[in-house]
Amino acid sequence: MAHTDTDEPTRRDFLYVATGAFAAVGGAAAIWPLIDQMNPDASMLALATVEVDISAIEVGQSITVMWQGKPVFIRRRTEEEIEMAKAVPVDILPDPIARNENITGEVPATDENRAAEGKEEWLVMVGICTHLGCIPKGQKVGDAQGDFGGWFCPCHGSHYDTAGRIRKGPAPMNLAVPVYSFLSDDRIQLG
């Protein structure tokens, strides 16, 4: 009797299928570590967003928190500091762009475009000088620095105002405003 394609599978057919399946599973198991290593590790995922309790910050005080390996300044500004920032015409600023990642496009560096709407007393900025990456001074209570009452980078003499805008010195840009949101009146989420 001759064998045809309609005959039942043989032991050889089973071995071909089993060997192919075993090779596919083994190949996937060998490749998985290479694919998985491209995912961010747990420490980076933890830094993607950070919640900050701001309930203890008094008017006129600042704190510095670390986010994505960078210092972030969070300041609760006084009415005087807000008024000083609002009084500055944008056309006299060395960098007229807001540098606010919460707003799309290149908007003017007004105080309103540097703070969250309805929460103008809070100023949130990446605390890295835009000249050579130093950390400006001015975060301690009653320690406003520079010629404009904000922050001062002593390394090369960059002066920032009460809205974190460059006013004098070699820094080419305003301090960056990172992505952040208010989760409540007492909590901010960075990232």
The DSSP-derived string for 58-84 is: PTT-EEEEEETTEEEEEEE--HHHHHH
Cα distance between residue 89 and residue 161, in whole Å: 12
Buried b (16+ CB within 10 A) or exposed e, 7-20: eeeeeeeeeeeeee
pLDDT (tens digit per residue) in 74-112: 999 999 999 999 999 999 999 999 999 999 889 999 999
- Per-residue model confidence (pLDDT) at position 1: 52
CATH number for domain 45-190, candidates 3.40.50.720, 2.40.10.340, 1.20.1260.10, 2.102.10.10: 2.102.10.10
Catalytic residue among 3, 131, 156, 159: 156
Tokens of 171: 């820094």
Which of 103, 110, 117 minimizes the C-alpha distance to 174? 110
Q: Would you list the DSSP string of 3-56?
A: --TTSPP-HHHHHHHHHHHHHHHHHHHHHHHHHHTTSPPHHHHHHH-EEEE-TT
**DSSP E strand stretches across 92-174:** 122-126, 149-153, 158-161, 166-168
Which residue is associated with the tokens 């103008």? Answer: 120
Q: Which amino acid, 109?
A: A
Q: What pLDDT sits at residue 172?
A: 93
Structure confidence by residue, pLDDT tens digits, 19-78: 888 888 888 888 888 877 777 666 666 567 889 999 999 998 999 999 888 999 999 999
pLDDT tens digits, residue range 127-175? 888 888 788 887 665 556 777 888 888 888 899 999 999 999 898 999 9
pLDDT higher at 15 or 184: 184
For residues 162 and 96, the answer to whether their CB atoms sit within 8 Å is no
Confirm whether 159 is a catalytic residue: no
Global pTM exceeds 0.75: no
Q: Read off the DSSP letter of residue 174.
A: P
Res 2: pLDDT: 57
Determine which helix (DSSP H) or strand (DSSP E) holds 85, and give its type and residue range. Answer: helix 79-86
